[in-house]
């Protein structure tokens, strides 16, 4: 491996691990919150070094290529901004008595373990190691969802654990089937699990085995993506866990599971007898969009509302990658990045709102633009962005996807647009009550920093107005790789 690149990859993995060890033993909220931000910032710097200073050569266990570098940079950036938001948000939770100093120390340590797990899943060149990393990130977030120790939080964590375990078991079985398909061609041992070797030799694999494997992998990792009908854990986990974890779940962990699906999609494409993965992904994507769009009208909890919005948008992204082709893949990548930035910004705003109002029930929240103008209008901008209105970045990605789909499958376009319009109506209806009209509930000052929220929304707005040439070329290259 090339020296600088190897050092950067090592830093992306070892910084969160070392930070977790320190945060588990250090006392004091201020020190641990600042250390959590520092470690997350250094990890982001290491990820940017992979872009600027070159990448290492693939090894038996680690890989950095055009596909995962997009995910790595996005993962570490949102991880850093969420740690900044979390520093003050969690401090208020400590002051209010919802968290004890012991649980707070546990929270900060688990935050870095979660970042380590996600980063490892993204850079793993071994399909077994990737599975272990996704499982580690899942178990960590399960523990964090239940950190408030209320009946509802523990129930949500348990539900997440059960459904997540079913999903990860299906993914494990799919991984084993891929190994069995590779073994006669590659031979016994570690090489039959190394992604770069598998891709190179995939044409010789038994098509029956890899086809069955992909079905299990799509269902297994699709559970983590939050695709219907495997989505039931996601609304509860978002509603009952700390808001920074809701931001990370929507903005990052769903993407990590999606990344695993894309890796295996490439493997199937390299096998002449492999099934067409597109129709499966298109079907699950559209089902998720339509289900979430309908369910948005029935939500009463503000965090559950945006949890279902995450299901909708992951459905859009999976639909885009299922359609395939340069334009749809480009739209899928852009939508993934824009959704991560927008949805995490919305959860930052929702966290502020919940602390100000002392509730997550939308019937008890209103008039935010009057009582807290900065917060209220930021929430308006976030909802405008996630609803797909111009000039925000999500409008651009949805426009590209609808254009690409209409040119190839007009019937699917009608279904997709119907889902988008249904969700659009629900979000605007809810926004009207939250942001405008007579103020409702408490009017306490916000306790957490607005800077991460503003930074994310500014990036989403900038992307809607102008995408720099190097970013476009980067995404076009990745879109071509995805086929």
Coil, strand or helix at 118: helix
Cβ–Cβ < 8 Å for 288, 227: yes
CA 41 to centroid of chain Cα atoms: 19
Q: Specify the 3-state DSSP secondary structure of 179.
A: helix
Is the bond into 122 cis (omega within 30 degrees of 0)?
no
**Average pLDDT over all residues of the chain:** 91
d(CA 61, CA 58): 8
What pLDDT is stored for residue 4 in this prediction? 55
The residue written with tokens 């004091």 in the block is 28
Provide the whole-model pTM: 0.94
Q: What is the predicted pLDDT for the residue at 358?
A: 83
3-state helix, strand, coil in the chain (%, to 5): 80, 0, 15
Residue 48: CB atoms within 10 A of its CB come to 15
CB atoms within 10 A of CB 404: 22
Closest CA to 238 of 304, 330, 316, 315: 304
Count of residues in the chain: 483
pLDDT value of position 1 = 45
Closest by alpha carbon to 128, among 202, 194, 219, 200? Answer: 194
Domain boundaries along the sequence of the chain:
276-483
Give residue 37's pLDDT. Answer: 95
Q: Provide, rounded to the nearest whole percent, the portion of the chain with pLDDT above 90.
A: 67
101 phi and psi, to 5 degrees? -55, -35
Q: List residues bridging with 361 in a β-sheet.
A: 301
Is residue 447 within 8 A of residue 98, CB to CB? The reply is no
List residues bridging with 440 in a β-sheet.
366
Closest CA to 416 of 287, 242, 235, 278: 287
- Position 348 scores a pLDDT of 93
Nearest in space to 401 (alpha carbons), one of 331, 479, 472: 331
**Residue reference for tokens 């306490």:** 444
Helix, strand or coil for residue 5?
helix
In order along the chain (483 residues), what is the average pLDDT of each group of 10 residues? 68 95 86 93 94 82 91 96 90 75 85 96 95 94 89 91 91 95 89 92 92 94 90 89 89 92 93 90 95 92 93 96 94 96 94 87 88 90 94 95 94 96 93 85 69 95 93 92 86
pLDDT tens across 111-169, in order? Answer: 999 999 999 999 999 999 999 999 999 999 999 998 888 898 899 999 999 998 899 89
Compute the Cα dihedral for 66, 346, 318, 479 and give only its sign: negative
Predicted local distance difference test score (pLDDT) of residue 133: 96
Q: Which two tokens stand for residue 17?
A: 């691990």
- On whether the CB atoms of residues 59 and 1 are closer than 8 A, the answer is yes
């Amino acid at each position: 491996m090339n020296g600088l690149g190897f050092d950067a990859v090592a830093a992306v993995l070892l910084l969160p691990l070392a930070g977790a060890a320190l945060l588990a033993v250090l006392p004091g909220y201020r020190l641990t919150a600042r250390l959590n931000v520092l470690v997350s910032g250094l990890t982001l710097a290491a990820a940017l070094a992979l872009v600027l200073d070159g990448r290492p050569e693939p090894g038996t266990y680690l890989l950095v290529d055009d596909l995962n570098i997009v995910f790595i940079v996005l993962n570490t950036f949102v991880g850093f901004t969420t740690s900044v938001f979390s520093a003050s948000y969690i401090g208020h939770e400590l002051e209010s008595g919802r968290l004890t100093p012991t649980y707070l120390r546990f929270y900060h340590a688990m935050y870095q373990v979660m970042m380590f797990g996600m980063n490892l899943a993204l850079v793993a060149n071994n399909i077994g190691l990737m599975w272990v990393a996704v499982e580690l990130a899942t178990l960590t977030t399960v523990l964090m969802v239940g950190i408030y120790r209320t009946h509802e939080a523990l129930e949500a964590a348990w539900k997440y654990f059960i459904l997540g375990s079913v999903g990860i078991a299906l993914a494990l079985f799919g991984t084993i089937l891929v190994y069995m398909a590779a073994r006669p061609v590659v031979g016994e041992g570690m090489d039959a699990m190394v992604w770069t070797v598998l891709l190179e030799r995939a044409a010789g694999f038994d098509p029956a085995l890899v086809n069955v494997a992909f079905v299990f992998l799509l269902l297994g990792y699709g559970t983590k993506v939050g695709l219907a009908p495997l989505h039931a854990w996601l609304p509860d986990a978002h509603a009952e866990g700390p808001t920074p974890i809701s931001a990370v779940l929507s903005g990052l962990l769903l993407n990590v599971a999606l990344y695993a699906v894309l890796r295996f999609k490439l493997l199937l494409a390299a096998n002449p007898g492999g099934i067409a993965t597109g129709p499966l992904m298109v079907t699950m994507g559209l089902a998720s969009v339509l289900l979430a769009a309908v369910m948005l009208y029935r939500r009463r909890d503000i965090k559950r509302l945006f949890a279902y919005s995450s299901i909708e948008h992951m459905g859009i992204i999976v639909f885009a990658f299922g359609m395939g082709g340069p334009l749809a893949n480009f739209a899928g990548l852009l939508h993934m990045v824009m959704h991560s930035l927008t949805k995490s910004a919305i959860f930052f705003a929702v966290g502020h709102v919940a602390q100000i109002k002392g509730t997550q029930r939308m019937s008890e929240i209103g008039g935010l633009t009057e009582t807290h103008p900065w917060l209220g209008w930021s929430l308006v901008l976030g909802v405008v962005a996630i609803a797909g209105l111009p000039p925000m970045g999500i409008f651009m990605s949805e426009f590209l996807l609808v254009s690409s789909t209409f040119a190839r499958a007009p019937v699917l376009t009608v279904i997709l647009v119907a889902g988008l319009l249904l969700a659009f109506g629900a979000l605007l209806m809810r926004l009207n009550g939250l942001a405008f009209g007579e103020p409702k509930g408490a009017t306490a000052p916000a306790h957490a920093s607005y800077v991460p929220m503003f930074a994310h929304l500014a990036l989403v707005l900038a992307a809607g107005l102008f995408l720099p040439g190097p970013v476009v070329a980067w995404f076009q290259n990745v879109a071509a790789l995805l086929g």
